[in-house]
């Protein structure tokens, strides 16, 4: 325990929380980590780096469920992102800040192909963190969840309405302007179903926003949610208050494909031409979901 020397403060200030971060390799995860690290006692970083074979198998598996064109759609969108969306995203201030973030170091670093690797369980048992922060990993299984007292996740989307991948993108596709945002929630056995610790919403800007800028805005606001919540908890991560879930149907979405994104662009262009404010519904929501 450390003590605050400010004469106006009569109580002790808790020591920084002992934290382990489980993260994927995205730019958004790196940015959130960069904002988190100075606020906590960062004990270890576990990076999930799946092999290309594993990543392709995941897309192949979803193609069986969503249709075989999904595979081609994902590949085309990946190419389109590299050739066009990255350059256009530079117009967004949040994107530039997120892209420029450098990844901090930690006393321990572990790289795994699966976040559910036994080595992760062993590391959690050894370090005994007060809090585990999850940033863009695969679904965490019971054996890992049982190894630490509290896991929280920064999810790019408003849960439980937009669970899964790219929740802000699908909110735009649904023309659900009131629910474009990011959620901080407890990690449980479901997919983005844990208790809500905080949510932040932001506007959709048809002239400049694309798939990458929406992710960057989620990272930008998600980092603020996470660090503010940790500060407010003052080291007590067991007695946490959760927020009521927003009204609506809980739905699980997958990553969009190229055809989905072309519809997104068409909708954004129509909004610009009509000069419609994006904070209010302008039409009946579309019903496409995965």
Q: Which residue has the tokens 């610790």?
A: 197
Measure CA of the first residue to CA of the last residue in the chain; give whole Å: 48
User: What number of other Cβ atoms are within 10 A of residue 89's Cβ?
Assistant: 23
The mean per-residue pLDDT over the stretch 236-245 comes to 95
Who has greater pLDDT, 99 or 283? Answer: 99
**pLDDT over threshold 70, residue 290:** no
**pLDDT over threshold 70, residue 1:** no
Who has greater pLDDT, 67 or 11? Answer: 67
Write the CB contacts of 75 (distance below 8 Å, at least 6 apart in sequence): none
Structural domain spans, the chain = 18-274
**pLDDT over threshold 50, residue 283:** no
Percent of the chain having pLDDT more than 70?
A: 85
Question: What values do phi and psi take at 24, rounded to 5?
Answer: -90, -170
Q: Could you check whether the bond before residue 160 is cis, i.e. omega within 30 degrees of 0?
A: yes
Contact 20, 44 (CB under 8 A): yes
Chain-wide mean pLDDT for the chain? Answer: 89
**Degrees, nearest 5: CA angle 14-19-21:** 155
Least confident of 57-71, 150-164, 203-217: 57-71
Write the CB contacts of 20 (distance below 8 Å, at least 6 apart in sequence): 42, 43, 44, 45, 46, 123, 124, 127, 129, 131, 132, 133, 148
**pLDDT score at 275:** 72
**pLDDT score at 15:** 86
User: What number of other Cβ atoms are within 10 A of residue 86's Cβ?
Assistant: 14
**pLDDT over threshold 70, residue 35:** yes
Please report, for residues 13, 92, 189, 229, 239, the alpha-carbon distance to residue 2 in angstroms, rounded to integers and kept in the order given.
Answer: 6, 40, 36, 20, 21
**pLDDT score at 286:** 37
Who has greater pLDDT, 3 or 145? Answer: 145
**pLDDT over threshold 70, residue 43:** yes
What 3-state DSSP class applies to 142?
helix
> What's 2's DSSP letter?
B
Q: Domain 18-274 belongs to what topology?
A: Rossmann fold (3.40.50)
**Rounded-to-integer distance, Cα 162 and Cα 256, Å:** 13
Who has greater pLDDT, 226 or 5? Answer: 226
Q: What is the pLDDT of residues 131-149, one digit of tens each?
A: 999 999 999 999 999 999 9
Contact 134, 140 (CB under 8 A): yes
Q: What is the pLDDT of residues 103-123, one digit of tens each?
A: 999 999 999 999 999 999 999
């Amino acid at each position: 325990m450390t003590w605050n020397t400010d004469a106006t403060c009569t109580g002790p200030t808790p020591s920084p929380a002992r934290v382990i971060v489980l993260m994927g390799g995205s730019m958004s995860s790196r940015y959130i980590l960069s904002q988190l690290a100075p606020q906590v006692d960062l004990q270890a970083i576990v990076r999930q780096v799946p092999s290309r074979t594993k990543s392709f198998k995941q897309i192949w598996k979803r193609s069986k469920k969503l249709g075989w064109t999904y595979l081609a759609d994902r590949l085309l969108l990946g190419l389109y992102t590299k050739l066009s969306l990255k350059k256009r995203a530079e117009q967004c201030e949040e994107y530039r800040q997120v892209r420029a973030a450098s990844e901090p170091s930690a006393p321990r670093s572990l790289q795994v192909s699966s976040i559910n690797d036994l080595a992760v369980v062993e590391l959690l048992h050894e370090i005994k963190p007060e809090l585990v922060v999850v940033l863009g990993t695969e679904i965490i299984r019971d054996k890992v969840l049982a190894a630490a007292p509290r896991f929280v996740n920064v999810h790019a989307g408003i849960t439980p309405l937009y669970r899964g991948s790219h929740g802000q993108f699908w909110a735009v596709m649904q023309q659900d302007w009131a629910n474009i945002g990011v959620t901080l929630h407890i990690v449980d056995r479901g997919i983005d179903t844990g208790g809500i610790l905080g949510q932040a919403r932001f506007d959709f800007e048809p002239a400049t926003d694309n798939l990458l800028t929406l992710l960057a805005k989620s990272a930008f606001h998600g980092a603020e949610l996470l660090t503010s919540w940790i500060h407010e908890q003052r080291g007590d991560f067991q007695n946490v208050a959760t927020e009521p879930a927003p009204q609506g149907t809980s739905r699980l979405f997958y990553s969009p494909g190229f055809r989905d994104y072309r519809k997104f662009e068409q909708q954004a262009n129509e909004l610009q031409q009509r000069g419609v404010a994006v904070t209010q519904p302008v039409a009946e929501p579309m019903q496409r979901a995965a």
